[in-house]
Structure 1
Amino acid sequence: MAVIEETQRRGTLLAIEEVNERGGVNGREIVPVFYDPASELSSFGRYAKQLLIADDVTMIFGCYTSSSRKAVLPVVERLNGLLWYPTLYEGFEFSPNVIYTGAAPNQNSVALCQHLIKSYGRRFYFIGSDYIYPHESNRIMREAIQKHGGDVVGETYLSLHARRRDFLPVMREIRELQPDAIFSTVVGDATIYLYQSFADANLNPKTTPIASLTTTETEIRAMGFDVGEHHITAAPYFQNLESDSNRIFVNSYKKKYGDDEPTNMCAEAAYFQMHIFAKALEATNSMDPDILRPMVLGSNFDAPQGRISINPLSNHTDLWTRIGRANRLGQFDLVHQSFAPVQADPFLTAY
């Protein structure tokens, strides 16, 4: 998971640096305590407990996979910590001990389904990594596809440790089934191998794209711009958005980490959630989750993606819905975006 988790770490540290350069919070610096679970699920819960007990930390920023979040969740609930979770996920969860700043299914899956059916056709093939998020996301996407008269013609899951050769039989099956679009919930390094295998099989992304909720500018860079071109991603944020807040974010990120390092939706969420935390801490002057949380809920922030707010009904974030098509420069050209932030509905009550 390092390919994407590293960008979340970078977004977090950039925001901390900006807060500290402005004098910190009420005259005090934010000092991060950092542990690297190295993509090992068992380490997430263990480090969360260490942070909350041994390190006397009350706020945890991190986790990418839903499995890692699920490992940390009982720890923060039992010890009354607050997890800030900057990753899109499968929804159908609420905890008073989590602030969810990534997209819920109604903010990405629903619009992506409608766009794919309208632009490419009704026959879908599902491929995912074998853990919680892909299975649940595919369940939601299947229901959306069927609701719009579509069909899932194939579905397969591969290990999080899948290598390039593991995708060869998948490409043969896709060629035989001839779906109109491929919905991918593959994550981490395996994402790179999926797209490269697609290109090796000479499949055409112009007519049968891989559509994803997780493939960002960072994975496109790793797989090769030519490999990623024409494939589709739904996300609240893309690097090439035109706004003053995004230009500041992108310039600061590249100045700190290198001109060839792209931003992405996970780095952006990690970045803005730290700024929201700093604002709430300034107002409350307390690291007690029970005191700080009410100040966070209902708060607004001019994030790089646009103005967002933490929805007090669900602890989720009202985010923008966007769909992009990857171009030869490794960026995404917008093909759809909402007119305003979409209210988080993690239980799909309105769909």
Structure 2
Amino acid sequence: MLFESNKNNNPSRPSNSVEGLIMSNPTQATSAPWRIGVLFSRTGFMSVIEETQYQGTQLAIEEVNEAGGVCGRELVPVAYDPGSDSAAYGHYAKRLMVEDQVSTIFGCYTSSSRKAVLPVVERLNGLLWYPTLYEGFEASPNVIYTGASPNQNSLALCRYLMDTFGTRFYFVGSDYIYPRESNRVMRELLKSNGGSVVGERYVNVYARWQDFVPIIQDIKRVRPDVIFSTVVGEGTVFLYQAYANVGLDPKQVPIASLTTTEAEIAAMGFDVGEGHVTAASYFQGVEGSANNAFVQRFKKRFGADISTNMCAEASYFQLHLFAKALEQVNSLDTEVLRSMVFGTSFDAPQGAVTVNPMSGHTDLWTRIGRANRQGQFDVVSQSKEPVHADPFLIGYGRATQTGSVQ
């Protein structure tokens, strides 16, 4: 497979004379490859998780091409590494659309990186496929959201934690958009159900292990029932290690998260991660033939010791959703392609998923897992069917029904 990688290039600002070009690939008889953009950080503090998103994307592209491509044409990604710098995502998105003439982009983990790309794809009428859980309260005709929104993870997690551990929560987050907004949602859920926030601390996205020491000391002093973490990247590893170093017990006061996956557990150490809780649409241990095949292919491609995770899985299935829609319209024109994407379903490793035409978000499964000593998650609760995307929490007053799990 031809993989056009520009990993080490610095972002540039293309001339204004070409910025207004309309990018499209109308239906035509040609064998030229379909060129798509890929924006995931393979270096920097976010690479611990974004590398797996890159791998999920790469695996899906290879599968599509091995099956004959789309309409007989190969998918060729043009990839840039933003190096965990949010501003670089915007620069590279502009380069992809203006210089590389790419209209469809797969990428971004943090909300700040998505926010950097959003005005670019909206101005130039591109299409961003975003495979990461996020804080919700956004909808753009130029974004397909394939990660979970709050009604697909936060509601069920809050209910499980309050029922199992108690009502006093301590918030720890990285200091940017997603953690603060996710904590706002969680705070409202707690308030509505008789819970409380007994502490709230934020760290720089570049935080090191020593930055978490005073936070853990404060947690020991306050003695909450649950620690709710929205720390991301390498900071996740440092938080959990600091927790383990002072001898706190996850059986009594676990760290619960929406962002801690098998990738972070592997980085921190299986013993460090054991017993902590994550809400996700997907875990590697999900039962089903689609997931078994996905895990087998992923490990064969990237190494037997590499685990899949919710972000890699979303990156994988969204590429297949894209290929399915592209096969139908035979065009990368954003308006034409988007109309076909809405309502499209795919038998993903997590189970059947559908791009909800009401919001451009994806109907996903809801699961709660507890990490075990093997670095995997034991699923302790899951939805009976995909949960409809409700990014603006319109059904917030019916939280227990919308986010209920068996």
CA deviation vs aligned residue, 1:305-334 (integer Å, no higher than 9, x gap) = 000100000000000000000000000001
Residue correspondence of structure 1 range 187-226 to structure 2 within 5 A: 187-226=232-271
The corresponding residue for 1:260 is: 305
TM-score using structure 1 length: 1.00
The corresponding residue for 2:319 is: 274
TM-score using structure 2 length: 0.86
Alpha-carbon distance in structure 2 between the residues aligned to 1:240 and 1:41: 32
Q: Is the partner of 1:93 in helix, strand or coil? A: coil
Residue correspondence of structure 1 range 106-145 to structure 2 within 5 A: 106-145=151-190
The corresponding residue for 1:37 is: 82
| Letter of the 1:191 counterpart | T
Residue correspondence of structure 1 range 306-325 to structure 2 within 5 A: 306-325=351-370
Displacement, 1:201?
Answer: 1.0
Q: CA RMSD in A?
A: 0.4
The corresponding residue for 1:65 is: 110
Give the alignment partner of residue 148 of structure 2, picking from 82, 89, 103: 103
Alpha-carbon distance in structure 1 between the residues aligned to 2:297 and 2:371: 23
Q: Is the partner of 1:140 in helix, strand or coil? A: helix
Q: Is the partner of 1:31 in helix, strand or coil? A: strand
Alpha-carbon distance in structure 2 between the residues aligned to 1:21 and 1:41: 34
The corresponding residue for 2:211 is: 166
The corresponding residue for 1:4 is: 49
Displacement, 1:164?
Answer: 0.6
Structure of larger gyration radius: 2
Residues 1:155 and 2:197 aligned together: no
CA deviation vs aligned residue, 1:110-161 (integer Å, no higher than 9, x gap) = 0000000000000000000000000000000000011110000000000011
| Letter of the 2:258 counterpart | L
Displacement, 1:349?
Answer: 0.5
Give the alignment partner of residue 293 of structure 1, picking from 338, 355, 358: 338
The corresponding residue for 2:392 is: 347
Displacement, 1:70?
Answer: 0.1
Alpha-carbon distance in structure 1 between the residues aligned to 2:262 and 2:238: 15
Q: Is the partner of 1:329 in helix, strand or coil? A: coil
CA deviation vs aligned residue, 1:256-313 (integer Å, no higher than 9, x gap) = 0000000000000000000000011110000001000011000110000000100000
The corresponding residue for 2:14 is: none
Alpha-carbon distance in structure 2 between the residues aligned to 1:186 and 1:201: 19
Structure 1, unpaired ranges of 5+: none
| Letter of the 1:68 counterpart | S
Alpha-carbon distance in structure 2 between the residues aligned to 1:208 and 1:148: 19
The corresponding residue for 1:176 is: 221
Structure 1 stretches of at least 4 aligned residues deviating more than 2 Å after TM superposition: none
Q: Is the partner of 2:77 in helix, strand or coil? A: coil
Q: Is the partner of 1:32 in helix, strand or coil? A: strand
CA deviation vs aligned residue, 1:184-216 (integer Å, no higher than 9, x gap) = 000000000000000001111001000000000
Residues 1:243 and 2:288 aligned together: yes
Structure 2, unpaired ranges of 5+: 1-45, 397-406
Alpha-carbon distance in structure 1 between the residues aligned to 2:118 and 2:155: 26
Q: Is the partner of 1:34 in helix, strand or coil? A: strand
Q: How many residues align?
A: 351
Displacement, 1:77?
Answer: 0.1
Residues 1:336 and 2:406 aligned together: no
| Letter of the 1:282 counterpart | E
Residues 1:21 and 2:66 aligned together: yes
CA deviation vs aligned residue, 1:190-247 (integer Å, no higher than 9, x gap) = 0000000000011110010000000000000000000000000000000011100001
| Letter of the 1:154 counterpart | G
Q: Is the partner of 2:172 in helix, strand or coil? A: strand
Alpha-carbon distance in structure 2 between the residues aligned to 1:298 and 1:149: 38
Displacement, 1:64?
Answer: 0.3
Displacement, 1:41?
Answer: 1.3
Query: % of aligned pairs identical?
Result: 67
Alpha-carbon distance in structure 2 between the residues aligned to 1:162 and 1:67: 17
Alpha-carbon distance in structure 2 between the residues aligned to 1:340 and 1:27: 35
CA deviation vs aligned residue, 1:7-44 (integer Å, no higher than 9, x gap) = 00000000000000000001110000000000011110
Q: Is the partner of 1:43 in helix, strand or coil? A: helix
Q: Is the partner of 2:370 in helix, strand or coil? A: strand
| Letter of the 1:120 counterpart | F
Alpha-carbon distance in structure 1 between the residues aligned to 2:191 and 2:87: 37
Q: Is the partner of 1:347 in helix, strand or coil? A: coil
Name whichever structure is richer in helix by fraction: 1
Alpha-carbon distance in structure 2 between the residues aligned to 1:41 and 1:301: 31
